[in-house]
Chains A and B, each alone.
Chain A
Amino acid sequence: MAGYFNELFSGTKSLAIGLRITIKECFKPVVTLQYPHESLVMTPRYRGHIELVGDAETGETKCIVCGMCQRACPSGCITVKGEKREGVKGKVLTVYQLDFTKCSLCGQCVESCKPGAIDFSHEYNLASTRKEDFIFDLVKRLKDKS
């Protein structure tokens, strides 16, 4: 009999404690971010899709078309092509295509890049209904930027 009442009282008490906690939380400030109206700035190390980095002075790409990133990529989403040109040492980058639909953002390509020609972008608001929108032409993007 004592157990019966004990259970009743301790049970009711636990329920009251629960209510006290939630009402306290109710009057605390909101912690969420109202997304479309405000958005976060990504941290410096954020791994977005990759982007060609322009040289600080000329704005030209640092890519030497060695193809290391293409080989390092586990998903095969990078296509790099270059050509020999008169008067230029080494190859010149003509095509740098990233198929972002396959990319798993592992960062192997950036690590494998010796001249530091690619880096992560901080873009995360990527949405589209068309697959083609995610096949990026990074050479063009670099040109547009500079």
Chain B
Amino acid sequence: MTLLAESQLHETFELNLGPQHPATHGVLRVKLTMDGEYIVKAEPVLGYIHRMHEKMGENRTWAQFMANVGRMDYLSAMSFNHGYVALVERAMGIEVPERAEYLRVITVELNRIQSHLLWWGAFVLDLGGFSPLLYAFDDREQILDLLETVTGSRLTYSYFRFGGLYNDIDENFVDGARAFIKRLRSRIPMYHDLVTYNIILMTRLKGVGPISAEMCRKYGATGPVLRGSGIQFDIRKNEPYSVYPEFDFDIPVYHEGDCMARYMVRMDEMEQSMRIIEQALDKLPDGPVKAKKVPKLIKPPIGDYYHAVEAARGTFSIRVVSNKTNKPYRMKLRSPTFSNLSLFEEASEGMLLADALALMGSLDLVIPEIDR
């Protein structure tokens, strides 16, 4: 393809995809150099909603930054919150009660399913199928209702606290979560029949947008993108945190590296998350949800701290430098889709516009998280 473009016979033109475009799901702008319908070069232009979360972190107390973390990736706010509280707990050496850890895992996994459901709907919408989006929303709504009764919020939960949780679950939560899992289990075969095995979708996804393991390493891609390229890497297994080692679950891996592989990874992950939730609900211990000995003033000892979690889109990690004041000295946030998007330029070279948008959808972009 590049050969075509290099030979002066073919005139190229620039196409602005975004910042307002139905397929970019936010204010992402991709500057495309096109040769007809083929993409010669795709250059993502970021920064349209850059809010300087890192700098904000350095100007607020440790507790005040909680609300910011969830707002980076509004679709897996729970995982992001988890990453942040776990980091501060590691820095302060706070022991978290068992029950709180279990509830954290349950809510994070519910949040992950919710995120994947929304991705599924939006991805099929990108490919032109309307109804699956609404079906996905119907199921997703159940999770949101469940989480809302517990946390009081539907999207940016801020449910975790240093040393535990904001409050305990109510009596309906366990039954509600079980009922939801039963419901989703019965719905997923329908999703597969309607969308996954559909011949149109299969031809659109199979073999389209291949991303090699090599490319993933080069750009630091994580999450379903990496696992769709055949690398079995998941923070929950590779660098276990919280109570994940106590559960029996698999990391779905597909080796094709195409859009279909990434699609299947996410579909399988929902099932694995449901397995984790079921086990956690079975084992859920009694006890307090907040550690007794949490210092009033959070002033972690001088040092350099790091914690990574597996968010719905990949590895989210925070590194902070503390100088024993009530604010972090330096904060660095690593968000998954920033790395996942950076491989788009190389992966989309020579693709058709429609296929490139399928590729972009399969990366599962959440723009506020890219820009932070």
Contacts and interface: CB of A to CB of B under 8 A. Distances in A.
* Chain B interface size, under 10 / 10 to 19 / 20 to 34 / 35 or more: 20 to 34
Nearest to A45: B152
A134 interface: no
Contacts of B193: 17-18, 21
A78 to B, nearest CB: 13
A104 B198 contact: no
A61 B132 CA distance: 50
Contacts of A18: 193-194, 198
B64 interface: yes
A43 B152 contact: yes
Interface string B333-346: 00000000000000
A46 B68 contact: no
A10 B199 contact: yes
Nearest to A48: B152
A91 interface: no
A116 interface: no
Interface in A27-80: 31, 43-47, 72-74
A99 to B, nearest CB: 15
Given A18-B193, A43-B152, A46-B148, A25 B67 contact: no
The B interface, classified by DSSP as helix, strand, loop or mixed, is helix
A135 interface: no
B153 interface: yes
Contact of B67 (A11, A44, A46, A106): A106
B152 A74 contact: no
B194 A21 contact: yes
A31 B198 CA distance: 25
* Chain A interface size, under 10 / 10 to 19 / 20 to 34 / 35 or more: 20 to 34
B169 to A, nearest CB: 10
Nearest to B129: A18
Contact of B199 (A11, A25, A108): A11
Interface in B44-103: 60-61, 63-68, 71
B152 A14 contact: no
A22 interface: yes
A43 B133 CA distance: 26
Given A11-B199, A14-B202, A74-B67, 19 more contacts: A7-B199, A17-B193, A17-B197, A21-B193, A25-B131, A43-B148, A43-B152, A45-B149, A45-B170, A46-B148, A46-B153, A72-B63, A72-B64, A104-B67, A105-B153, A106-B64, A106-B67, A107-B152, A108-B63
Interface of A: 7, 10-12, 14-15, 17-18, 21-22, 25, 31, 43-47, 72-74, 104-108, 111, 120
28 contacts: A7-B199, A11-B199, A14-B198, A14-B199, A14-B202, A15-B199, A17-B193, A21-B194, A43-B148, A43-B152, A45-B149, A45-B151, A45-B167, A45-B170, A46-B153, A72-B63, A73-B64, A74-B67, A104-B67, A104-B71, A104-B156, A105-B67, A106-B64, A106-B158, A108-B63, A108-B64, A108-B66, A120-B152
Interface of B: 60-61, 63-68, 71, 131, 135, 138, 148-153, 156, 158, 166-167, 170, 190, 193-194, 197-200, 202
